[in-house]
């Protein structure tokens, strides 16, 4: 009995000692994690933000998202740069190039392009090709080094300073193209036809000039021309001012030019649609819970005359929302080429160390329920015409086609208005 009791006491003592050791080890591990919190906290914060906001939570189960976090935190992460690389590795299984880490320089530049009027770089707006997963040129900014070098929408970025874009990925390719004014970057480009060329580009400050307008006059009608190059925060107000100015010049129709507008702030694109539509659906958004929220325009409009909207394969994201809403509601005919096909919405979140993370939080559908992602929007009238050297210039055949269409429409409208008046006069004379 005593022997059994003594064995029990020995076992109890050993168990207690073991528990003390386990708790001590856990305490030490907690202390070690705290010691690395400056760098690992970036990883934890990024994981949490994506976990809370990513639009497709089913993907988490498919890739074992929690296990990825655990494995990532087991890595040696002692600096901010190591944290950024770890976050990139962590996000890669999501297979969404738009959900990405933004290092301080990239985060600041993205904010500048969304809220400012100029940006330093070569003027390329990039996306990922749906078929090849290559980094593809969505559009070039007007007056930028890229545009002057002849780079066009649809070209592929193969290398930047000798490093393959497949190795860099979309975010890092875009990052390497940005930089201080006066510095140079060597870019290897391949066209859709397979032609390869190297171009030495000098970075500089590019004036975004998001809203440009003028009046087009001929012998019979006055048409307004409004070009939006991207949707930054200031655009809705600038568009309102531009439309008011055109109305004061008594324009009868409007050409809205969205060519090579790769998007920007979705809220700005929706606000512009609101100024052109009266109590009509603008877009439906589908979030991670599968809820479709329809956004409807207000009653008052800034311009209610006939419209033509010009689009091409560089028309993407927020500009596709605007174009799709105008087409589906019969508010404007679309002319040009099939648009790019980016139907995903990103939210920009701040991290420590002045960095950030862009997260795809929703997808969007046009008012008629058309999914734009990977498909784009087909215009009502296709234009097989070369691009003008300067959009909206006298040699811009796209604008001339739109102008002729509006002239024809206005003439038909005048006939339809005059016909009842003639009939009434005839009736009076008969009396």
The pLDDT assigned to 99 comes to 94
The pLDDT assigned to 201 comes to 92
Distance CA 373, CA 215 (A): 35
**Which letter does DSSP use for residue 64 in this model?**
T
**Given 232, 328, 355, 396, the catalytic residue:** 328
Q: How far apart, in Å, are the Cα atoms of 331 and each of 45, 278, 391?
A: 44, 10, 23
317 is a catalytic site residue = yes
Residues 6+ apart with CB under 8 A from 250: 222
Distance CA 141, CA 345 (A): 21
**Given 113, 342, 349, 355, the catalytic residue:** 342
**Cβ–Cβ contacts within 10 Å for residue 366, how many?**
23
Distance CA 77, CA 73 (A): 8
**Which letter does DSSP use for residue 93 in this model?**
G
The pLDDT assigned to 68 comes to 97
203, 209, 210, 214 alpha-carbon torsion, rounded to 10°: -140
The answer to whether 73 and 39 have CB atoms below 8 angstroms apart is no
- DSSP state string for 255-294: EEE-TT---B-HHHHHHHHHHH-SS-EEEEEE-TT--EEE
The answer to whether 261 and 315 have CB atoms below 8 angstroms apart is yes
81-129 tens-digit pLDDT: 999 999 999 999 999 988 999 998 888 877 766 654 455 688 888 887 7
Distance separating the N- and C-terminal Cα atoms of the chain: 132
328 is a catalytic site residue = yes
Distance CA 49, CA 358 (A): 10
**Cβ–Cβ contacts within 10 Å for residue 120, how many?**
17
Which segments in the chain show pLDDT lower than 70?
1-37, 112-120, 130, 207-208, 389, 414-431
- DSSP state string for 292-332: EEEEE--S--S--S-EEEEE-TT--THHHHHHHHHHHTTS-
- Mean pLDDT across the chain, nearest whole number? 84
230-241 tens-digit pLDDT: 898 889 999 999
The pLDDT assigned to 160 comes to 93
Query: Which segments of 142-193 are extended strands (E)?
Result: 156-160, 163-164, 184-190
257 is a catalytic site residue = no
Q: Enter the pTM of the model.
A: 0.77
- DSSP state string for 98-126: TSEEE-HHHHHHHHHHHHSSEEEE--EEE
Question: Is 234 exposed, middle or buried (CB count within 10 Å of its CB: 0-12, 13-18, 19+)?
Answer: middle
CA atoms within 13 A on the CB side of 296: 5
**Given 139, 175, 317, 319, the catalytic residue:** 317
Residues 6+ apart with CB under 8 A from 354: 104, 107, 108
378-396 tens-digit pLDDT: 999 999 988 776 788 888 9
Q: Which domains does the chain have, with CATH numbers?
A: 2-101 (3.30.750), 119-206 (2.30.42.10), 211-411 (3.90.226.10)
Phi and psi (nearest 5°) for 399? -65, -40
The pLDDT assigned to 37 comes to 59
The pLDDT assigned to 114 comes to 61
């Amino acid at each position: 009995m005593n022997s059994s009791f003594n064995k029990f006491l020995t076992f109890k003592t050993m168990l207690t000692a073991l528990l003390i050791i386990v708790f001590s080890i856990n305490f030490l591990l907690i202390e070690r994690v705290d010691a690395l919190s400056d760098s690992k906290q970036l990883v934890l914060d990024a994981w949490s933000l994506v976990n809370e906001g990513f639009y497709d939570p089913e993907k988490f189960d498919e890739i074992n998202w929690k296990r990825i976090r655990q494995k990532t935190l087991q890595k040696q992460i002692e600096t901010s740069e190591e944290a950024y690389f770890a976050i990139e590795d962590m996000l890669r299984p999501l297979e969404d190039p738009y959900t990405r880490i933004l290092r301080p320089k990239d985060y600041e530049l993205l904010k500048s392009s969304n809220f400012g009027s100029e940006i330093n770089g070569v003027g390329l707006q990039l996306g990922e090709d749906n078929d090849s997963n290559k980094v593809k040129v969505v559009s070039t900014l007007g007056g930028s080094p890229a545009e002057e070098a002849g780079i066009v929408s649809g070209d592929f970025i193969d290398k930047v300073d000798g490093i393959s874009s497949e190795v860099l990925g979309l975010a890092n390719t875009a990052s390497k193209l940005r930089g201080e004014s006066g510095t140079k970057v060597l870019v290897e480009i391949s066209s859709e036809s397979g032609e390869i060329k190297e171009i030495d580009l000098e970075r500089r400050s590019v004036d975004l000039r998001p809203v440009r307008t003028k009046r087009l006059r001929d012998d019979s009608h006055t048409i307004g021309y409004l070009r939006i190059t991207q949707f930054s925060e200031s655009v809705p107000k600038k568009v309102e001012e531009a439309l008011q100015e055109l109305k004061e010049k008594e324009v009868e129709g409007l050409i809205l030019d969205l060519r090579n507008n790769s998007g920007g702030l979705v809220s700005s694109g929706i606000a512009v649609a609101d100024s052109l539509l009266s109590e009509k659906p603008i877009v439906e958004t589908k979030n991670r819970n599968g809820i479709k929220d329809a956004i409807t325009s207000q009653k008052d409009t800034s311009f209610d005359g006939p419209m033509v909207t010009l689009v091409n394969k560089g028309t993407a994201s927020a500009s596709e929302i605007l174009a799709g809403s105008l087409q589906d509601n019969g508010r404007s005919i679309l002319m040009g080429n099939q648009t790019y096909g980016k139907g995903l919405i990103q939210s920009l979140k701040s991290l420590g160390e002045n960095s950030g993370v862009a997260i795809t939080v929703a997808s969007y559908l046009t008012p008629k329920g058309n999914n734009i992602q990977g498909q784009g929007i087909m215009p009502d009238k296709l234009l097989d015409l070369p691009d003008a050297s300067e959009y909206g210039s006298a040699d811009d055949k796209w604008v001339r086609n739109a102008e002729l269409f509006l002239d024809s429409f206005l003439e038909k409208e005048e006939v339809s208005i005059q016909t009842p008046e003639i009939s009434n006069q005839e009736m009076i004379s008969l009396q």
